[in-house]
Structure 1
Amino acid sequence: MTTAQQLDERYGRARRGRLPWVIGGIIAVIVVVIAGWMTFSQSMNSVDADDLGFEVVDAHSVTVRFQVAGAQGKDLACAIEALDEEFGIVGWKIVEIPASEGHLQQLSAEVPTVAEATTGLVNSCWVA
């Protein structure tokens, strides 16, 4: 006589335990924790820069005023660019900013140029 267990095994209806569901749940939790940590650590080192203005000093320099926010207590660096009327780069400078306890810093930098600039701006900033 054939039992129900023999029929289940013969036709592939064997009971599956909860182990695959438990393993899948653990993997899902690990993925969520890793993604959350990556997002948090990325935001801890983000630096925002805003242009406040520029002044063309002469044919060979421009002064750029800007502010940086974020990364409190860490040294920063910013790439400052001077552009001509066709938006070609005619000068650039890396400005190193020492750590500050304030969240927002307003700065200015004089950028030497190889031709007369028509604008100056902050290209990007990062934690040094």
Structure 2
Amino acid sequence: MTTRQELDDRYGRARRPLRRRAFWIMVAAVAAASVLGLSWLTFANSLDDVGFDETGYEVVDERTVRLTFQATPPSGATFACALQALDEEFGVVGWRVVEYPGSETVTRTFAETIPTVGLATTGTVHSCWAT
């Protein structure tokens, strides 16, 4: 009966624990670097986020919608919001981009008027961003 050592010698197999260990160390280092990189990207992107909550709307007439909302921009940052008015089939019938100056107040409340080209059924905040 042949032993494991004889088979390893015959077929040129040798134990290389150092290579195996180095491989797994490299895999762990690449995984750790990837996690750190993605974490940093997520954190850096969230610094400029502007949160918003719609608090109400009023269809004033066939050509006007009044929208109220709260925005939470980064402290002191100027920001802009895109506001839209939608009809009953969710088509955009009014659009307005409004820029706001920076302030130290964390959450601010706004009331804006959106002109429309037809009868709207709702007003919403499409998006907000830091400028």
Provide the TM-score with structure 2 as the length reference.
Answer: 0.81
Amino acid at match of 1:126: W
Say whether 1:82 aligns with 2:66: no
After superposition, the Cα gap between the structure-2 partners of 1:85 and 1:21, relative to the gap in structure 1 and judged at 3 Å, is: closer
What is residue 12 of structure 1 aligned with on the other side?
13
1:95 aligns with 2:98: yes
Residues 22/55 of structure 1: CA separation in 2 closer, same or farther (3 Å cut): same
Answer with 32-41 or 56-65: which moved more.
Answer: 56-65
Assess if the C-alpha contact under 8 Å between 1:8 and 1:14 holds in 2.
Answer: no
Which range moved further: 16-25 or 115-124?
Answer: 16-25
The alpha carbon displacement at 1:102 in A equals: 1.8
Give the % identical residues. 41
Query: Structure 2 vs 1, CA of residues 9 and 24 (structure 1 numbering), >3 Å: closer, same or farther?
Result: farther
Which piece of structure 1 moves more, 35-44 or 10-19? 10-19
Give the counterpart letter for 1:49 in structure 2: F
Aligned with 1:45 (options 28, 48, 54):
48
Distance in 2 between the 1:41 and 1:50 partners?
22
Check whether the contact 1:84–1:116 (CA below 8 A) recurs between aligned residues: yes
Give unpaired runs (5+ residues) of structure 2. none
Q: 2:60 matched to 1:61?
A: no
Partners of 1:69 and 1:103 within 8 A in 2: yes
Which ranges of structure 1 fall in alignment gaps of 5 or more residues? none
> 2:73·2:79 contact (CA, 8 Å) conserved in 1?
no
Question: 1:9 deviation in Å?
Answer: 8.2
Normalization by structure 1: what TM-score?
Answer: 0.83
Change over 3 Å in CA distance of 1:9–1:28 after alignment to 2: farther
RMSD (Å), alpha carbons: 2.2
2:73–2:130 CA contact under 8 A, matched in 1: no
2-structure distance, mates of 1:109, 1:14:
74
Distance in 1 separating the partners of 2:82 and 2:10: 69
Whether the aligned pair in 1 keeps the contact of 2:85 and 2:95 (CA below 8 Å) is: yes
Match of 2:75 among 62, 72, 76: 72
